[in-house]
Amino acid sequence: MNTTFERDLDAKGYIDVAVDPSLDIVQEIARLKKEKNAVILAHYYQESEIQDIADYIGDSLGLSQQAAKTDADVIVFAGVHFMAETAKILSPSKKVLLPDLKAGCSLSDSCPPHLFAKFKEKYPDHLVITYVNCTAELKALSDIVCTSSNAVQIVESLPADQKIIFGPDKNLGDYVKKKTGRDLVLWNGACMVHEIFSQDKIDALRAEYPEAKFIAHPECEEHILAQADYIGSTSGMLKFTIEDPSSTFIVATEAGILHQMQKASPAKTFIPAPPNNLCACNDCPHMKLNTLEKLYNCLYYEQPEITLSEDIIARAQKPIERMLEISEKLGL
């Protein structure tokens, strides 16, 4: 890689090369995928044009598991940094690319591993469960990883007297505490997207659309979850909107999921729950750093690449494997 690219990655986080405007970028991405034996993963929160060219669309862990099953040599993860790390953990022999290295995560950033390690030392008799939305280093400090869809069942599968630290999301942890009745020790972290929904604006929407179902992600604050008709992961919310007979839904999570909801149920109406600012919907600024142009350059130049030490990969694999074992036993 030349020095210009190195400077771009250091300063900007992506390959900053202009794409010929006459190029059929979608066609070129398809050609490069075939040429390089690559697979493109897109999280539900990506822009619709990226979702539409992806081989797989879904939640972060599910995407990484899907990629691990393929015979692809290259994984392009259109998501955020911790998601690409998870793909690398599950597919250490594959090259994992992220269109923009600065596509981070406010939740992941809210839990620096060195501080969490100190926190963990205060509770030596506690089992550590971490939400998958965290860094590889944090996973390496954990006993079990969970997702928003299996966190309750993972905790319930453990002995009633097992002491537990849960991190990094305090809202998900609080939701799990209420559902399980367990006294979890919570790390004080949160997702910026799920913490700025406006109660007043949601109330106004519900008054305007009294027939609408209000659905929310468990990373939302307690007062938002308290009024939800359904609480679940992004994939769970999508499934609910497909199966529920209601024709209108107010959706409290990142607005990117509405694209898949509308595709799956074109006759239904989906309204993003508004945040407490002037925006009409709640977008994750980190997720939206990825663009088609960055994805094209990423695949063309095979940079930026996600690299992890063998030690971190080995240690981070164990809590993920423990989660998968428990999930299999529970039939999840």
**Was 37 annotated as part of a binding site?**
no
Ramachandran class of 13: left when φ > 0, alpha when ψ lies in -120 to 50, beta otherwise: left
**Was 234 annotated as part of a binding site?**
yes
Q: How far apart are CA 140 and CA 122, in angstroms?
A: 18
**Was 146 annotated as part of a binding site?**
no
| Peptide bond before residue 168 is cis, with ω within 30 degrees of 0 | yes
Compute the C-alpha angle 145/129/185, nearest 5°.
160
Helices (H), the chain: 3-11, 25-36, 48-51, 60-69, 81-90, 106-109, 113-121, 136-140, 151-156, 170-180, 199-208, 222-225, 234-243, 257-264, 292-301, 310-330
Q: How far apart are CA 189 and CA 168, in angstroms?
A: 5
**Was 60 annotated as part of a binding site?**
yes
User: At how many degrees (to 10) do helices 234-243 and 257-264 cross?
Assistant: 20
Residues 6+ apart with CB under 8 A from 176: 151, 152, 155, 166, 182, 184, 218
The per-type count for the chain, helices as H runs and strands as E runs, is 16, 12
**Was 86 annotated as part of a binding site?**
no
**Was 296 annotated as part of a binding site?**
no
Query: Which residue is associated with the tokens 């890689």?
Result: 1
Report helix, strand or coil for 158.
coil
Report helix, strand or coil for 224.
helix
**Was 219 annotated as part of a binding site?**
yes
User: At how many degrees (to 10) do helices 25-36 and 292-301 cross?
Assistant: 30
**Was 131 annotated as part of a binding site?**
yes
**Was 105 annotated as part of a binding site?**
yes
- Give the dihedral sign, CA 71/76/79/80: positive
Q: How far apart are CA 201 and CA 142, in angstroms?
A: 38
**Was 39 annotated as part of a binding site?**
no
**Was 275 annotated as part of a binding site?**
no
Q: Which two tokens stand for residue 322?
A: 């423990």
**Annotated binding-site members:** 43, 60, 105, 131-133, 148, 191, 217-219, 234, 284
**Annotated binding-site members for iminosuccinate:** 43, 60, 131-133, 148, 217-219, 234
**Annotated binding-site members for [4Fe-4S] cluster:** 105, 191, 284
